[in-house]
Structure 1
């Protein structure tokens, strides 16, 4: 009897000695084994690597799908099939609109010539008399003197025979950049802020990127007729949304100059010419209709060095309301898209 018991204990322990269920469980886990823990760790590592590779593959696939969705979302409207080339990498062209304010023009040209991203400066001149040779020579010397780069910006006056706000969006030949920075002669954007806005535009070269946001509001709907109201800065501040950035300080693609002049309904150009107002609203509607996307507001410092302008005249808001309504009726739809997103350089913000 004792012999049988001894044999049974030996077979249960596997190596002789006392049998213990805890020892057997630990052996199966690899506690008592010599090579088993290393092999098990290797299997676990390989299994973990597979899961990591699978997770990385899923993440890359999602990013690819997201980028394709964004590309299609930012595509051209079928009404405007023109293609847009890749975003500018070398800089931007500053397009300054001026009107009988040579002192402000001199300050503006001198400032933008000092910005490292400026590739060229074009002055939209719509006065009856062309700029004097003295003014031309002075500004050319200023550009050469103020430029901080080895590559000096090209400087040129774009002369027009008539006073017309549509002149600021005429196509320009021989441009070396895709990016246009449209600005009034009395608006100064610090170079660092301007260059940051340019990098924002490069991420979305089909949309407008600017510093002066505005909003449209549904005013009333009566008998099937929808009326809209133009909202100024205080409307944007109160509601926290916007749907336009004004061309008095904004980046857009050079192709929009061609679209504004040749593809946009000519009745809108006629309207701007007669009313001497709202060319900036017309450009915002054009870009929104072409992309189906909102603009991008860049939060940054902006200095207005002038003391007068169209916006200071009586009845300006009522005229803007009328422009917006009339333009939307010509489009047959409201193309503007509202957003509450804004771009800000985190390096210079108070909070991240």
Structure 2
């Protein structure tokens, strides 16, 4: 009896010790540190699909391994309100002065300077600027750091910009200066003040850039489930039978397909596992371009442009110590979610990261947003998913000799969709003192004496749709009504009547364009075209000043420039609709074979489109063979059954 009691007591004590041992170690491993102090980094955005990872702990819940790097010297506690004097930005506008480079500079550094000087924010006067920019060059020899500028003033209203790792990334006390650098650590990054940049390769293009590599627009994932970033710069792929720890070197038991891809050659994988080391930050851009969903394993660097980009829609942040849960969750993720994440990687790559110029301009736009606030954005930035209203504004450009196109005004006023008629008066001759009475409001706007003034975002325009016209346009009410109905189905594209087409001239080795009737077109003339007024904002505030100047010097170039802009945004061609009248349809003065153009003038005239290509860095125009007609257009039925009868009148 006593022997049985001794055995029972021994078993109970053993079970108790076993429970204690099994319970203490996980608790020690998952111990939650105290709350971070005020002013410290608040960690990464939480993943939207958290319900799939119920056992996940967020990265902020784990103490960092190893010693912590020191905080930023000087202005480590800087905030936007405390360390930037926005009152120096007159009228709420950002003006940037770039310190001239000291000593010899490389071609890459010179091109970056030219890109900043070509932006709408640049000024050559330091007194006029409210932001002084110091560009760090990676080309200086080691030990020859950038000297402190004379106007440093403790770094107040300064931006230290480093696109590439420099020999002296922090050559002096930063003080109150903002820092825009690649892969900043989460401990030194000052949220809301500094700007996190992507780590760019040395050969990253200045403008143009390569498109995203995702070609599969269905929920079907890549051939391989995982691609693991390797320390030597390559990628290692693993199939769906990978082990639970594919990133820690213990995958010898995996019998699935494996393959190593050197350099920037990224396989068609669904997820890209990127360790949190700073040296792996370059893999992040490679994954975005390839449409491979980045899975960041306890990253120790701030994600680029995290102030304005919601990375939960394109990437996954996980803790590298929870390998089993990570792999299981990736395998069970719904295909619709996979497609949404991969599509967002392509958008972010094209919008922010494909060129050096986009990275620079995004940085300046972030600072401009801090100065002006969200209220300075046009309304369509804030109303996601809303459809355009059912009205349009007719914007008629009048230049010399300065006469009101009465017939055109009456045709616009007769449209059931016309909300207002705006006459942009750009003639030296004063406008008539009395305006004709029309069924819709008629307003005269005193416009600038240059052709680019046609595309200024005038406050008088109160509709989404704009019908751009000039005084020589000839349109009927039916043509306008049908074109507007078409535009309502494609509000992001241009819808017009007259078309041009671009081509590559093998003999001259350059681009050209023509107005000859053909089976293809890539541009519509802005003398009669519908488009969203958002493009007026882009035309005025996003295009380089050099392209404005070119359009003003060669007026026909403004049509090319507007089509370039819309095509660069949408990646789509314009839409052509039919017209019954000829609208003065002639070849453009800059097109080959155009009337009134001497043969010896053609090479210089064709330089317009080539300068546009150089300014954009690539040819954005997309050709189309599509024309949209009414359903019964020219069908052998009674005219009484047709809605747009005047379209078929000779």
C-alpha change, 1:308 and 1:184, in structure 2 (3 Å) is farther
Contact 2:516 2:587 in 1 (8 A): no
**Residue of structure 1 aligned with 2:620, choices 335, 345, 351:** 335
> How far is 1:309 from its partner?
9.3
TM-score (norm 2): 0.37
Is residue 446 of structure 2 the alignment partner of residue 159 of structure 1?
A: yes
Query: What is the deviation of 1:303?
Result: 4.3
Partner of 2:461: 175
Specify whether residues 308 and 338 from structure 1 end up closer, same or farther in structure 2 by C-alpha distance, changes over 3 A only. Answer: closer
Alignment-derived partner of residue 630 in structure 2: 345
RMSD between aligned residues: 3.4
2:400·2:428 contact (CA, 8 Å) conserved in 1? no
State yes or no: 1:90 paired with 2:390. Answer: yes
Largest Rg, 1 or 2: 1
Contact in 1 for aligned 2:515/2:588 (Cα 8 Å): no
Pairing of 1:162-241 with structure 2 (within 5 A): 162-220=448-506, 227-234=510-517, 237=518, 240-241=519-520
Residue aligning to 1:120: 420
Rounded Cα–Cα distance in structure 1 between residues aligned with 2:607 and 2:623 = 20
C-alpha separation in 2, matches of 1:205 and 1:173: 20
Q: How does 1:131-146 map to 2 (within 5 A)?
A: 131-133=431-433, 137-139=434-436, 141=437, 143=438
Which residue of 400, 406, 411 maps to 1:111? 411
Say which SS state the counterpart of residue 138 (structure 1) adopts.
coil
Give 5+ residue unaligned stretches, structure 1: 1-60, 148-152
Work out whether residues 401 and 429 of structure 2, in 8 Å CA contact, stay in contact via their aligned partners in 1.
Answer: no
- Going from structure 1 to structure 2, the CA distance change for 1:192 and 1:308 (only over 3 Å counts) comes to same
Higher helix share: 1
Residue 288 of structure 1: SS of its match in structure 2? helix
Of 583, 596, 602, the residue aligned with 1:304 is 583
How far off its partner does 1:280 sit?
0.8
Q: Residue 539 of structure 2 corresponds to which residue in structure 1? A: 260
Assess, with a 3 A threshold, how the Cα gap between structure 1 residues 302 and 167 changes in structure 2: closer, same or farther.
Answer: farther
Determine whether 1:287 maps to 2:572.
Answer: no
The equivalent of 1:321 in structure 2 is 606
Q: Partner of 2:351 in structure 1?
A: 78
Question: Over residues 170-200 of structure 1, what are the superposed CA-to-partner deviations in whole Å (9 max), with x where a residue is unaligned?
Answer: 1111433100000121112211121111111
Gap change, CA 1:332 and 1:305, over 3 Å in 2: closer
TM-score by length of structure 1 reads 0.66
Partner of 2:119: none
Deviations 1:185-239 (A, max 9, x none): 11122111211111111111111010011100011288xxx511112133xx2xx
Aligned length: 265
State the distance in 1 between where 2:587 and 2:400 align: 12
Q: Deviations over 1:285-329 (max 9, x none)?
A: 000001111111112223437999967542486565221111111
Instruction: Quickly say closer, same or farther: Cα 1:154–1:214, change in 2 above 3 A.
Output: same
Q: Does the Cα contact within 8 Å between 1:215 and 1:243 map onto a contact in 2?
A: yes
Deviations 1:2-38 (A, max 9, x none): xxxxxxxxxxxxxxxxxxxxxxxxxxxxxxxxxxxxx
Q: How far did residue 97 of structure 1 move?
A: 1.1
Checking the alignment, whether the CA contact within 8 Å between 2:402 and 2:431 is kept in structure 1 is no
8 Å contact 1:242–1:339 — kept in the other structure?
Answer: yes
